[in-house]
Amino acid sequence: MKTISIFSFMLIAIFGIAFIVKTNRAYIKSKVHMVKRACYNNYRNKTSFNKYSIKNDNYRLHRKVAKRHYVGLIKNNVEIKDGLKSGKLVKVNAAAGFEIAKLQYSKKVLAPRSYKILKKLGSRFAMVAGKNDFFTVTSLTRTALQQEQLSSRNRNATKGISTHSYGASFDISYSRFNGKRCQNQKMKDYLVRELSNLQKEGEIYVIDEKANYCFHITVIK
Ligand SMILES: [Zn+2]
């Protein structure tokens, strides 16, 4: 009799715990969904700088100018090392107005001219947004090998040769500002404004990669 009552007590306890875990999970899930939803609604907001908007430049144009940077198509890590030695590539560090994310499919290097323009964009952004504000660079130079790995994982990634493999391009997230995920409409407006200025000055081509919440930028050479 005693064994039966212990057994039924244990059974009730197990079901009780399972129920609590399940409802807790559902609660967390709905919270995450709410945050995602709030971010999503923000993305759809119109930028407040109406005269500034990003024009999407055809990827063919990006490819054309990417090849003009002296590096050529970077196939592997050895070619990255060679590029750094010869000065065709330079190391990229965070500077005024921007930080570099932890990179999974790219290396912290760029063609010298691309780095110069990234720093120009960063300092202009910090000038209008605030000297402590910064955006996040999420992708820099990818070897052809890394590009292949990325395309097999992410169906939004460019198939074939990417302008990232010439040291000419970088990506900037517009769902992360000052190190925080989720949209900051004011900061996005400042970024759009400064990108649009550089685009009009003939320094960059831009594509709004909506699926990845980032701008793909190629520096014109
Ligand atoms: Zn890109």
**Tokens encoding 150:** 């990325």
The H or E element spanning position 200 is helix 185-200
Report CA(161)–ligand 1 centroid distance (Å). 12
Report CA(169)–ligand 1 centroid distance (Å). 6
Please state the pTM of the whole predicted model.
0.78
Report CA(30)–ligand 1 centroid distance (Å). 32
- Each residue's pLDDT tens digit, 141-166: 999 989 988 888 877 777 778 999 99
Report the share of the chain in percent with pLDDT over 90. 63
Give the model's pLDDT for residue 70: 85
**Tokens encoding 211:** 């699926």
Confidence category of residue 3, pLDDT binned at 50, 70, 90? low
- Each residue's pLDDT tens digit, 83-109: 999 999 999 999 999 999 999 999 999
Q: Per-residue pLDDT for 50 more than 60?
A: no
Q: Per-residue pLDDT for 36 more than 70?
A: no
Q: What is the 3-state secondary structure (H, E, C) of 145-190?
A: HHHHHHHHHCCCCCCCCCHHHHCCEEEEEEEEECCEECCCHHHHHH
Report CA(216)–ligand 1 centroid distance (Å). 4
Give the model's pLDDT for residue 45: 46
Q: Do the strands 169-177 and 90-91 form a parallel or antiparallel pair, or are they unpaired?
A: unpaired
Confidence category of residue 19, pLDDT binned at 50, 70, 90? low
State the fold for domain 59-219.
Muramoyl-pentapeptide Carboxypeptidase; domain 2 (3.30.1380)
- Each residue's pLDDT tens digit, 157-209: 777 789 999 999 999 999 999 999 878 999 999 999 999 999 999 999 999 99
Contact partners, residue 80, CB within 8 Å, separation at least 6: 74, 89, 107, 109, 141, 143
